Amino acid sequence: MAKHESYEQKAESMIAPILEENALSLVDVEYVKEAGQWYLRFYIDKEGGVNINDCETVSRAMSALLDQDDFIEDAYILEVSSPGLGRPLKKDKDFVRNTGREIEFKLFKAEDGAKEFVGVLKAFDKETVTVLFEEEEKVFERKNIALIREYVDWDA
């Protein structure tokens, strides 16, 4: 297991009680290096969406735990935020959370004359994503999908 993966797993187990106590859920955790700086990022959510106070509460509690345990060797910046609109679905739990919802996705190369689609996520597995378009279900190979995310209707 890579260093960043072990850090993410440990951080995820540490944050779980904080989130449960505050009726929040973890969307994702990532430990990444950007522009020479390491970041430990938590994306949190709750029914109706998170606000700045939720992020601050989690950040303060998690910061205290991280200071106590101090298991990350590198200097890093702690960030806690909402997943935001338009965040790509990456992990299985993202797909689970969005099953039955409208999604939009883009393919690397066109199928049936199109590269961009909107439909309802019906099912997924390691290899495929099944989408319902009005009355027809279609299966797409995950390796052919460039981007997939929850659909946001900006005109509604």
Q: Pick from 151, 124, 126, 154: which is nearest to 139 by CA?
A: 124
> Which residue carries 């989408």 as its tokens?
131
pLDDT band of residue 140 (cuts 50, 70, 90) is very high
The pLDDT, as a whole number, for residue 22 is: 96
Query: Is the pLDDT higher at 156 or at 152?
Result: 152
Mean pLDDT of 104-121: 93
Query: In the beta sheet, which residues pair with residue 81?
Result: 43
Query: Is the pLDDT higher at 120 or at 135?
Result: 120
Cβ neighbours for 111, distance < 8 A, ≥ 6 positions apart:
140, 144
**CA-CA distance, 103 to 76, in Å (whole number)?**
34
Beta strand ranges found along 11-156 (DSSP E): 25-34, 37-45, 76-81, 102-111, 114-124, 128-133, 136-141, 145-150
**Residue ranges of the domains in the chain?**
3-81, 92-150
**CA-CA distance, 58 to 92, in Å (whole number)?**
24
Mean pLDDT of 123-141: 94
Query: Is the pLDDT higher at 127 or at 1?
Result: 127
What is the tens place of the pLDDT at every residue in 48-84?
889 999 999 999 999 999 999 999 999 999 999 998 8
Topology of domain 92-150, per CATH? SH3 type barrels. (2.30.30)
Topology of domain 3-81, per CATH? GMP Synthetase; Chain A, domain 3 (3.30.300)
**CA-CA distance, 109 to 66, in Å (whole number)?**
44
Contacts 24+ apart (CB under 8 A), 61-67: 61/18, 62/11, 62/14, 62/15, 62/18, 65/14, 65/15, 65/18, 66/11, 66/14, 66/40
Neighbour tally for 65: CB within 10 Å: 14
**CA-CA distance, 46 to 26, in Å (whole number)?**
9
